[in-house]
Chain A
Amino acid sequence: MAIEINGSQVPVPDDPRVSLLDLLRESLHLTGTKKGCNQGACGACTVLVDGERIVSCLALAVQYEGRSITTIEGLSDGDALHPLQQAFIDHDGFQCGYCTPGQICSAIGMAAELRRGLPSHVTGDLTAERVPFSRVELQERMSGNLCCCGAHNGIIDAITETFGEVAA
């Protein structure tokens, strides 16, 4: 009965009411993942499960037994930042920083979706194997992550620099 979190095996909580988000923050003190709305609407709590992005506030931890979770704390290699973390700094991809861990995890999940050729609401040709990488595509694909500081332009620039090639 364990969940893998950033490479460590963590016991599943006894109380099935505990969300994955509360397990991370309250039990494991991994406070990088943020609680915004706690109802699936803001994306601040986004983490990766086996590489796929989800909102951890609507996830009961017990459902994720045997799965592998990556949070913002699991992205850097010691002091060496993930390229997207560095790009957020270089492009002013944040102001207060509250949405940032969610934005970064979400964008990494999004890059994998682009690589697979998953279409989006704004994709013209649903059957195309490759999705065009464009600002409009990015805006649509990242719409599940709100930023109340309005750092969107920097966020888009950081993601474009890091992942602009993946769909090409």
Chain B
Amino acid sequence: MTPFRYARATDVTDAVRLADGGARYLGGGTNLVDLMRETIERPAALVDVSGLPATIEAHDGGLLIGAAVRNTALAEHPAVRARYPVLARAILAGASAQIRNMATVGGNLLQRTRCAYFYDEEGSRCNKRVPGQGCDAIDGFNRIHAILGASPACVATHPSDMCVALAALDAIVHLHGPDGTRTVALTDFHTLPGERPDIETVLAPGELITALALPASPLAARSTYRKVRDRASYAFALVSVAAAIDLEDGIVRDVRLALGGVAHKPWRATKAETALRNGPATEAAFRAAAELELADAAPLAGNGFKVELARRAIVATLGELTGETA
């Protein structure tokens, strides 16, 4: 690990001042410490924000969640369990109990890809690590890689489960930086790789994630998360689905759908949502919507299976929520 300076922030203003546009913020450390040990990340200074207020409050009919709230605490919160089950389920499907106890909401949003070529500093080329170097995943082992929204420069996926639920829930990210505060929709927070896969979010230098807002969402009460992975527990998603649905007399009044494990960002399935809205809640309709969403899928040599897996996972998840079991 490269040497670094460490400072602990007492509040948001203090954190932004201490970071002075250059330092990295430290949450639970479960991703950053690992990457620093691998020397993939080499920050000169860390500002510890894991001790900032970790509150979950009522907010405009929804919830305001402090960035330092631990993943376990968010999944455990009674309002999340009752009103946003998709979020509790997504968090509980990720990592291990120990890691969820350490990981913060802010850090979860900014966790980096699990692409093995990104981690292999000595042996592989990666445009995320060294822009312009090339990507060894495109012609390499790319079973876990993206099928949607990738670019010739990068086929990595965003590994978070929590963020897939947040994308479906229209969550808003609250930011505080040297130039003041702003909010960004979670679906606009992460970026597609394009020519600059080293840029992964719209976060500006020195900007701190302070909170997440979950809007009021009556349909979220009927929501769930399905994760398909190589073993039954403690593995990253090959494909995952976050879904919420408002059903009336067999008709889909409203629906939210997002996919994980398929792209450089949590993938909000807007095409499928539009196709489903005001249509019948039948397996045939679910299948048609899934086909539409994946029509642009561009699988690599090793991950063609993800296209059909994603379609089936969408159909099964919507089926589970509506009683239309496949």
- Nearest Cβ in chain B — how far from A56, in angstroms? 9
- Nearest Cβ in chain A — how far from B19, in angstroms? 15
- Nearest Cβ in chain A — how far from B63, in angstroms? 16
Are B97 and A59 in contact (CB-based, < 8 A)?
no
A sample of 12 cross-chain residue pairs with beta-carbon separation below 8 angstroms, ordered by A number, consists of: A15-B3, A16-B5, A40-B30, A46-B98, A59-B102, A60-B6, A119-B81, A119-B92, A123-B92, A143-B234, A144-B99, A144-B234
Are A58 and B30 in contact (CB-based, < 8 A)?
yes
- Contact for A126 among B37, B46, B89, B232, CB less than 8 A: B89
Quick one: given A60-B29, A119-B81, are A143 and B4 in contact (CB under 8 Å)? no
Q: Is B243 at the interface (CB under 8 A from chain A)?
A: no
Binds B, one of A78-86, A93-101, A110-118, A155-163: A110-118
Per the bound structure, the CA–CA distance linking A55 and B97 in Å amounts to: 10
Are A55 and B102 in contact (CB-based, < 8 A)?
yes
* Chain B neighbourhood of A76, CB < 8 A: none
Are A120 and B92 in contact (CB-based, < 8 A)?
yes
Most buried by B among A46, A120, A144: A144
- Contact for A63 among B29, B85, B89, CB less than 8 A: B29
Are B26 and A144 in contact (CB-based, < 8 A)?
no
Per the bound structure, the CA–CA distance linking A126 and B240 in Å amounts to: 19
* Chain B neighbourhood of A140, CB < 8 A: 232-233
B residues with a Cβ closer than 8 A to A are 1, 3-6, 26, 28-30, 33-34, 37, 46, 48, 50, 72, 75-76, 78, 81-82, 85, 88-89, 92-93, 95-99, 101-102, 232-234
Q: Is A62 at the interface (CB under 8 A from chain B)?
A: yes
Number of interface residues, chain A, beta carbon within 8 A: 36
- Contact for B97 among A39, A40, A53, A62, CB less than 8 A: A53
Q: Is A4 at the interface (CB under 8 A from chain B)?
A: no
- Nearest Cβ in chain A — how far from B159, in angstroms? 13
* Chain A neighbourhood of B29, CB < 8 A: 58-60, 63
